[in-house]
Amino acid sequence: MIPVILIDDHPLTRGGIRDQLEKTGRFTVTGEAPALAQARPLLETAEPPPALIILDISLGVENGLDFIVEIQAAFQKRKAKPPAILVCSMYDDPYVAHNALCSGADGYICKSAEPEEFAAAVDTVLAGKTYTGKSVEIPVQNQSWEALTRRESEIVTLLKCSFTNRQIAKSMGISVRTVENHLSHIYEKTGIPTRRGLVNL
């Protein structure tokens, strides 16, 4: 049986994913968490170590993308093989998907995907390959996109996930003023003068 950990703040979503995985007879869900505080201990204690982590990127006001780095560090510390990471999100946005993959995720799929596509995504990332959902076409980056720093890209991603400036600040551990300063630089670099314009980037 392939061990899996689910990290999502919606119990119904976790239940649906769990049922779909376990009915195949190939997977066992060895841990679940609605938030990062509950997920962190699972990285250290789950036995056997998970082969797959399915992660939402919007966990209340927490940013699941930052957690990807923690996952990788935790398994390096355990001297265990790092799990495949499949981001499962409600956001059908190429920029968000791109940033998730750049953050270290192995795949990105939308929660609206059909069960067959979800199964294909799981098998693909477990095989060591990258999966991008059919509804999310990663575009060729334009010059303004490439000019953004990692921090700025993260802020745009959180904007697209409907975070307010205050929520972004809390998620990233910075002040609201710092978020506003980053946004000013983003507007300048992209030539997009409004928050709505960035959401549509």
Q: In this structure, what token pair is assigned to residue 42?
A: 């699972």
User: Is 125 exposed, middle or buried (CB count within 10 Å of its CB: 0-12, 13-18, 19+)?
Assistant: buried
**How far apart are the C-alpha atoms of 97 and 174, rounded to whole Å?**
24
Question: Which secondary structure element, helix H or strand E, spans residue 168, and what is its range?
Answer: helix 165-172
Tens digit of each residue's pLDDT, the chain (201 residues): 999 999 999 999 999 999 999 999 999 999 999 998 899 998 888 888 899 999 998 887 778 888 888 898 888 888 888 899 999 998 888 888 888 888 889 999 999 999 999 999 999 999 999 998 877 766 555 556 667 888 888 888 888 877 888 888 887 888 989 988 888 888 888 878 778 778 777
Fold for the domain defined by 2-132:
Rossmann fold (3.40.50)
Among 112, 68, 69, 116, residue whose Cα is nearest residue 89? 112
pLDDT of 106 reads 95
> Which class is 143-199 in CATH?
mainly alpha
The conformation of residue 27, written as its DSSP 8-state character, comes to E
pLDDT of residue 189: 83
* Whole-number pLDDT of residue 151: 85
pLDDT at 138: 62
Residue extents of the structural domains in the chain? 2-132, 143-199
Provide the β-strand partners of residue 88: 109
**pLDDT the model gives residue 188:** 83
